[in-house]
Structure formats: structure tokens, C-alpha cells
Structure 1
Amino acid sequence: MDVSSIILPSRLNRRTFLKAAGTVASAATLGSALSACGSTSSGGSTVTLQYWDYYVSQSPWLDNEVKLFEAAHPNIKIKRTINNNTTYDQLFNLSVKANKQPDVFMVTGTATPYNEQMQKGWWLPVDKWINATWKNRFPTGTFYQGNNMFNGKTYTAPLGGSGVFQQLYLNTDVFKAAGLTNSDGTPKVPQTWDDVANFADIITKKGNGQYYGLGFGAGGGGSITNWVDLFIRAAGVPGGAFGGTGGTWYDGFDYRVGKYTFSSDRNWEDFITLLLEWKQKGYFYPNSLSITDETARAYFERGKFGMIVGGVWNQAEWTTHGFTNYGLTTLVGPTTTRKGFYYHTPGGQEFAISAQTKHPEEAWQWFNWLYSNESEQRWVQTYNEDLSIFANLNDPSKIKFKPFAEYVANAPLNLTYPNPNMRNPETAKVIFNSLSPNLNDAIVGLWTGQLHDMKAALSDIESRANSNIQKGISQAQASGVKVSINDYTYPDWDITKNYITKPNQA
């Protein structure tokens, strides 16, 4: 659990969650990658821009955008570097220290929070090129201090819209083999925790060691907490086990009380207990803790288990492999009535331009292309990558692929929630450090038997997380920042409805 900047609970950005796990790169690999950073010229008047991202399953869309952009701008070439999600943050921070930042890049805020990067001058403001018309294409309230703006300057913008962060995917062939399909051949959809347990039991017994009910990949930077996230939100835990963007807002904070509630909200213990019961009963693929998230996705595709939790980015990857035979659902709770949802606030970040670029005009052209209506339309309607930040493009009737259309149609399950940055812009100056060991560490410890007392583990995390918040606020106050825990407390928030934050409200 990374609480490195609790003040940025912007949208639930899928790109900031795990999309391609792998082993940590060696020092030699990092050094080699850094040597490729920086602006270069490929002779004559042609400019080559260094561009970094960690899109993997989204590569078909991105590669096509590069092709179209270069055709429209023959004097600009894009040298794309696809990084590993698990090492990207480390590599980007090293590139800054070495003064070898790429010209344009996907932003990351785990080690150094976004607002701190803007404050330190790592990014180039884009106000020189944009105007009110450019900004007004985005949803109301998208741009504000500490999120994608700092000291009145604009640096970045969101790309994707706010959909349901996690889905429970159902392999149709496995469900069919277990006798769990509807008359039309689609998988029966579990409605409750008990349904998931019953389906997993049937599938596992039917599989007899050949396939299992459930699976995930927690090795190589993967996480088990995405399973907790999907099930615990529907039980009424608004902070969930994942949330927000790039290390800036993670794990379990409840705005209604202005605290982390790992031990004080019984839902945490109830579901983690159930998760461990599923493990003890053999419902999970046996090597889930050691295989990577990428491997788990491949195993699900091959029918080694019937259910997996993941984001919409999985769909594009599976489609490239020719795997389309699955269904999905989301926000499965202890009862059929959802008591909580996914949440977002307007705002967000995706791409930025380096303040050190030697080709700002060309970098802006590429930056602007990625945020164009045409590129976004291809993003959602042609390549089915995710929702667009431009809501008019998110029309399920224009989506041919049924699972993606279902995802798009579920967008209303992501509600707006309180926004401290909007309420008090001074919160943008508050920095919260990472917490270790974190929630994922605790669950892994309970899973492996290294930890035995769940209540003690959850109480420890809650205590340290809340102390971390108070420490960050106290440090900001000591430097003259006018903030308090009240800026993060909203007792009037009904978690079943959209919340509109008012600037400077008491």
C-alpha cells in the first residue's frame, strides 16, 4: 500500500495499475535504457522525439497513433520505448537525476508524487499552446491545483474516462465444462460472495486438478489486493483496496471519517477471512502467489481457472491472442444489493512534456495528438482500450465487442467522491510518504502463514497509516501550509451517490 500522496484521489486510472508484471530490471538494463533518453535529431530538419510509456496490451492503439502522427508530421519521428510497469517509476526517476528525461512520457507518481514533480519543475507547462476551447473539451472540474496544475500552470490531463476499475472475468469454456452456463451459452454470473464460492467449488471439483475455480498472479510485482478491492467495495468500503492514480491514493481511506479503517470496519476482516478460506479449500490455482500477473492472464485464457480479477486492459491483450470467449461482472458483494461502488474525482494525469526537452514545439504536437478527439475515438471505439475522457465517445451501441460494450455500459458504477484538492487547494502542498509493510504485504503474510493474527495485522496497518497522515499534515503545517485533517473528512458523504465538492466549503 502506497500512500505517497494521499491528496490526489483523482480518477481510477487503469494505466497506473499493473498491466504487465515482470522481474525487476538489473542495473545494467536501467543504465542501457537511460542511455537512450534525451532529445536527438536524425539529420536535416527531422526531429526525433524520445517517448516513454508502459503500455503493453495498449500497444496496437499506440503504435497506430505513432504511424498516423508521423504520416501527418513527416518532420517528426517518435522513438517509442515500452517500459516494464514494475520498473518504470524507478527508471523515470533515474532519468531525471541523470538529466536524460524523454521528451514526452507517461507520468508516474509513486516515488515522487505528481504535485511534487510539478513543483520541482520536471514537467513543461503547456499553457503556451492550450486555450479555453482546448480545456473545455474535458469534463467540468478536470483541471485544478495539485492534480494537473500547479501555481496556475497546466502540465498534463487525463486520457481515459472513469470506468469500473476491476472486473471479475468468467472463462466461458471453463464454466461450460462445469455446467455453469445459461441457455444461450454465456457463463452464469455470480451475484454474491457465496455465489463465487459455490461456483469456485463446482469448477474446482469438476476440474480435478486440471483447472481451478479462481486464479491470480502476485509474483514479479503483482498484487493480491485487486481481489480484495472488487469484493470489499460492494460491501460498503468506499476506500477499497486499490484506488486513485500512480501511488497518489491507495488503500482503504474512508473520507466519511477522515481515517483508514482496516481494523475498525469489519468488512475487511470478513472478506479477507473468506479469501483465505477459498485458498484453504483449494479453489485458487496453486501457484497464484508466485506466477506473474501476465502469466495469470495467459493461464486464464488457456482455461487453467474459471475466474480472474483484472482491469479492462486485459481485454485488448486477450483480443490480440484471439481469446474472446468470456463474460464479466463487477462489484460483487455479500448481498445482491451493492452497498458501495468505485469512485473518482474529476481530474487526472497521463502524459507530460519534459522541461528539459530541446524540441518543445514538436513535443507539444505529439502531446496534443494523443489528446485529440480522433485519437480518443480510436482508443475507445476501434481498439476498445478503455473509456475516453470525452464522454460523448463512450457509446456502448458503437462497440462491436460484447465484453467491452458491457464494460462501457458499467461506467455509471463509478461515482464521484470527495476531493480535498478542490475543497482546499493548500492540500496540494501536503506530501505523504510510502507505508511499508503495507496491505498487500499483510495479506501475503496471512496467505503464506507467516502471519497468524489477522486482527493484529489490520490494526497495525490502520494505526501506521493514520499516523502517516497526521505526520504529513503536521509537517505541512510547520512550513506554513493551512491544512488539517478536516480537509480530508466529509461526514455528509453518502457513498451510494455522486458527491460534488464545493471549493472552500467549511
Structure 2
Amino acid sequence: MNDHDRTASEVAHSLSRRQALKVAGGSALAFAAGRVVPSGADAQTPPSQPADPMQIILPETGITLPTDEVTFRWVDSGDSKALFFRAYFDAFTQAHPNIKFDYLGLPWTEIAQVVPLGVRNGNAPDVFQVPQEIPIAEAVREGWVRPIDDLIPNFPAWQAGFPPVSFVEGVNVFNGRVYTFPRSTSRRAGIVNYFNRAYLEEAGYNPAETPLTWDTLRDAARKVTENGQGQYYGIILVGKQVGRWEQYVRNMGRLAGSSAGPDDIDYRTGEYVYTSDGYLAAIELLLALRDDGVVFPGSMSLNDPQARAQMPQGVAGMIFEGEFTLPIWVRDNPDFEFGVSPIPTPSASFTPMGYQNTGTNHQWLYAESKLPEVAAEIFTYLGSEAGQLAFVSITGGSDPSVFDSVNQRAPVDERMRTVYGIYEKYMRLCPDVRIKNPETSQVYLRLQRPTPSFGEIVQGIYTGQLEDPKQAMQDLQDRQDQALDEAIEAARRDGANVSRDDYVFPNWDPTTDYLESDYAELG
């Protein structure tokens, strides 16, 4: 049963004793975590500094909320986020009984259907995550979402509480208007290697002590499959989810030496890296695993929640999954002995993956929402340090905060801190063209995504629908180049001072963080 199929009380029963039940105002409230304290209810503890990191403290914002009976609809990708939002929405309704919530945590494959359909029909959720395959600038351009800077009280002070570079034109700011804010840090790769300790030890490996290379990954997967004798396999893939195929190749390819940012551009040259040796080698590795017969046979029909739910059942030795997987297993499968390690690299050495410090887990306010003031109330809390602390603590750290102080204070499983350490070791801050030239935000507003997409092409190569990986990736690169050139030209026609040269950072060293001083060197 997925999180979005469970009530808050059902989720609460599956939590640890520390998380399950707290007492507020003299009455027992079974939330997914934390005790709920309306602002000012605890005179000993100011709302901004809760003594219990799992407290949900509702602040006094001064926002005028609806007085009639309303239902606010929220859709996101669920997972461990559902633990927090079910608890928070219950607390909100306790404080404002006329405001109910319809919360859905959906797999990304379903978000890709539900959100665009709702927008077309004029009844999209009040707040939603934009499907992974749709560029944010496209959602803004098409009028799906609206700004929030006119909704949150004392917005400049609220915004100033975030770390530097949290608000960037073309990321969450468009034409000078702020549309959303980063709820989680962007120093996260999206996948690490989770492994069944017993299966890997029986095969002679402990990836937590000695991270796997591509060769030892294949060897370990073969031995686990042989030991399984048809009952379990070396690895399970998230085959149904297009975005996961992108991550497999992007992350392994960059670690293999194809240095690029999260948009697959090598900022030393300004060129896409789809046809690079690292990306093509990563595809060949996926094909080798397929041909070795070590991939769980049902992988192509599985999305994220389905695939990760199979691991505690013992169907595979490894899965490359996101950090959100860890607290779900800790909560729902406490007897499952698993470890965590970096995703495999070609050898013991590696090239760090580039990330841009603009945050992740953005949520967007539907342009036609009739309840923007409710969204403002929620966003005001989520963007505060108290809200971030409650969120990270309740979710088990699966979505680390943009506030470092929050991540240090939040109580999380030690294996989650291992994940944080992996990201710290394997990721470096890379250039962001929107910081170098803010006018490039106009390019992203006009950039049309090519179809089939990167993930769809890798998926097609794996299934055999596309027979020549190099040619398929060359076609993708050509179409992406054309789309970028056309977007630049369209922005120039509308007055933006932009060019392909904006995407070149000759002083970028992928092994070190790209800092303000590096931008200054460009002149």
C-alpha cells in the first residue's frame, strides 16, 4: 500500500515509537509525526525554535484565510513527503476546521498524466509538482502556474532567510517574479546504490566498505543471480519511469568523466554531452547487465514505489534509488537489512557530478487556484527554519533542507548521513548560465523540449526498439542543439542579449566547487 493510499493514522501506526504519537493541548493526536502546537500555545518555546524537532508549529502569519467550507488540493510525488504533509494538513484543519485538504502523493508517471490533464480542463490541483518531462519555463510560459511574491507577508524578509543563490531567474524566478522556493537542497544525485546485505555478503562484496566499480557491479550481480537460482536477481531497475533512465546514464556517465551540469552541458565547451564516451559507456553498462541476465525480469513494468517495495521482499540484491527510499524502508520494513553506497564508477577514481545550488522539490501554485491565500499560509511555514526542521525530521531526512543547520539538527538514520556524505564526496557546485547572464532566463522560457526525450531514448535502447545507441544519442544531441539555438534566436529577437557563448565557462574545473570568485574571473 502506497503512502497516498493510507490515512494519517495508518501512517502513524507504522512509525517508530519515537515518531508515532505525541500529545498536544491535552488530547492525543495520532499524526504521522510530531506534536502540533498552534503558534503561541507553548510559552516556553518560541515558534521559531521548537524544542522537539518534530513539532509542527503553526505560525501567526496575518494572512486572511477563507471562512467558508473549502477543500485545498495538493499533488506531489509522495514517498516520505507524505508523512509530513498528512501530519501538517491534519494540523492545519485542526486549527482551521473549515479548510479541508485533498492530498495525493503520486508516482511521477501519474503526475505526468494528472497535472497536464487538470490544466487542460481548468481543474488542476491548487498546488502541484510539474511533471519531470516538462521544463519549468514551459509551464510558466503556458500559464500553468502563478507567482507567489505578492501572497506571502513581508516577502523580502521571508526571502532573505534563504541561503544565497536560492532564487535564480529562469529557475524559480521568471521576468522578475518569484514563482516558488527551494524546499530541499540540490546537492543530491537522485540515486545511490541500496543493497541487500545478506545477498551481497554471500557474493563476497560489501559495497559500503569498498564501493563497486562497473566490473565488480557485473560480477556481484552475476553471483547474486546465480545464488538466487531464479528466486532473486542481481539488480532491479525502475524500468517504467522515463526520468529514472535519464538519471542512470547522466549520473554514471558524469562519474565516468563526461563532466556536465544537470542539463547535460559541458560548461567548459558549452556543448551537450549525449554522445560523449561516458554517456555511451553508461548505456553499454545497462545493456551488459540486461544481457548478463541479472536484471529482475519484471523491471520494465515497475515505477519507483513498486520497484523499491520489491527489495524488502528479497527479489534482488541491488537497486539504484533516491534518498527517499531509506526512511520508507526503515519505517515499513524494520527487519530488512540493507546498506547504502555510491552508484558504481568505472574504476576507483571518478569525476564529480556537477550540481547547481538552486534547490529542489519545488511546488507550484496553479494559476487558476481559487485559494491562493491558503497556499501562502502553507508556503510561509515551509519556507521557515521551523517548518524545514519539522519537514526534515518527520521525513527521516530523505529531502535534506537548503538550511545546513536544519540538516545537522534533524534526527535521521545514520545511513541517511552516509547518503549525505556520498553526495558531499561525489558532487561539486558547477556553473549556472543564469547567474552569469540573467537574460538567459528568456532562453529557457522559449526552449522547446525535443521528443522523444533523453529518458525515452535510453529506455528504447534498453528494450531494443532503438538498435544503434550512438546514432540514437547523436540524434538527441542534434535535436537538443537545434532547440537551444532556436530558443536563443527567439530570445534575441525579443530583445535579450544572449548567445551560445553564455554557456561557456573556460575556467570551470569539474573537480572543485564553482564559486562567486570564479564568476568574477569571467569579467
**CA deviation after TM superposition for structure 1 residue 488, in Å:** 1.2
Q: Which moved more, 1:329-338 or 1:83-92?
A: 83-92
**CA deviation after TM superposition for structure 1 residue 283, in Å:** 2.0
CA 1:452/1:280 → structure 2, altered by over 3 Å: closer, same or farther?
A: same
**CA deviation after TM superposition for structure 1 residue 356, in Å:** 3.3
Q: Which residue of 2 aligns with 1:351?
A: 363
Q: Deviations over 1:108-139 (max 9, x none)?
A: 57446337517848314324524333122211
Q: Which residue of 1 aligns with 2:405?
A: 392
**CA deviation after TM superposition for structure 1 residue 45, in Å:** 4.0
Residue of structure 2 aligned with 1:100, choices 102, 114, 123: 123
Distance (Å, rounded) in 2 between the aligned partners of 1:227 and 1:121: 29
**CA deviation after TM superposition for structure 1 residue 368, in Å:** 1.6
Q: Which secondary structure does the structure 1 equivalent of 2:300 belong to?
A: coil
Alignment of 1:293-372 (within 5 A): 293-323=304-334, 324-348=336-360, 350-372=362-384
Residue type matched to 2:167 in 1? F
Q: Which residue of 2 aligns with 1:34?
A: none
| Alignment RMSD | 3.0
Matched, 1:419 2:404: no
Q: Mind listing any 5+ residue stretches in structure 1 that lack a counterpart?
A: 1-18, 21-41, 244-248
Q: Which moved more, 1:138-147 or 1:83-92?
A: 83-92
**Contact 2:208/2:341 (CA < 8 Å) preserved in 1?**
no
Matched, 1:209 2:230: yes
**Contact 1:90/1:111 (CA < 8 Å) preserved in 2?**
no
Report which structure shows greater RCO (CA 8 Å, sep ≥6).
1
Q: Which residue of 2 aligns with 1:81?
A: 104
Q: Deviations over 1:6-46 (max 9, x none)?
A: xxxxxxxxxxxxx99xxxxxxxxxxxxxxxxxxxxx99645
Q: Which residue of 1 aligns with 2:198?
A: 173
Residue type matched to 1:462 in 2? Q
Q: Which residue of 2 aligns with 1:255?
A: 267
Residue type matched to 2:175 in 1? N
Distance (Å, rounded) in 2 between the aligned partners of 1:446 and 1:43: 52
Residue of structure 1 aligned with 2:468, choices 448, 453, 459: 453
Residue of structure 1 aligned with 2:455, choices 395, 415, 440: 440
Percentage identity across paired residues of the two chains = 27
CA 1:237/1:72 → structure 2, altered by over 3 Å: closer, same or farther?
A: farther
CA 1:144/1:504 → structure 2, altered by over 3 Å: closer, same or farther?
A: farther
Distance (Å, rounded) in 1 between the aligned partners of 2:112 and 2:376: 23
Distance (Å, rounded) in 2 between the aligned partners of 1:389 and 1:69: 24
Q: Deviations over 1:244-277 (max 9, x none)?
A: xxxxx4xx322221111222x2222333223322
Distance (Å, rounded) in 2 between the aligned partners of 1:276 and 1:217: 15
Alignment of 1:7-406 (within 5 A): 45-108=68-131, 110-111=133-134, 113-114=136-137, 117=140, 120=143, 122-128=145-151, 129-161=153-185, 162-181=187-206, 189-219=210-240, 221=242, 223-239=244-260, 243=262, 249=263, 252-263=264-275, 265-323=276-334, 324-348=336-360, 350-384=362-396, 385-395=398-408, 399-406=411-418
TM-score, normalising length: structure 1: 0.80
Residue type matched to 1:438 in 2? S
Distance (Å, rounded) in 2 between the aligned partners of 1:427 and 1:295: 39
Matched, 1:408 2:420: yes
Distance (Å, rounded) in 1 between the aligned partners of 2:204 and 2:135: 50
**CA deviation after TM superposition for structure 1 residue 147, in Å:** 1.9
Q: Deviations over 1:321-352 (max 9, x none)?
A: 22452111125322212212241233556123
- Equivalences, count: 452
Distance (Å, rounded) in 2 between the aligned partners of 1:386 and 1:121: 25
Distance (Å, rounded) in 2 between the aligned partners of 1:383 and 1:105: 19
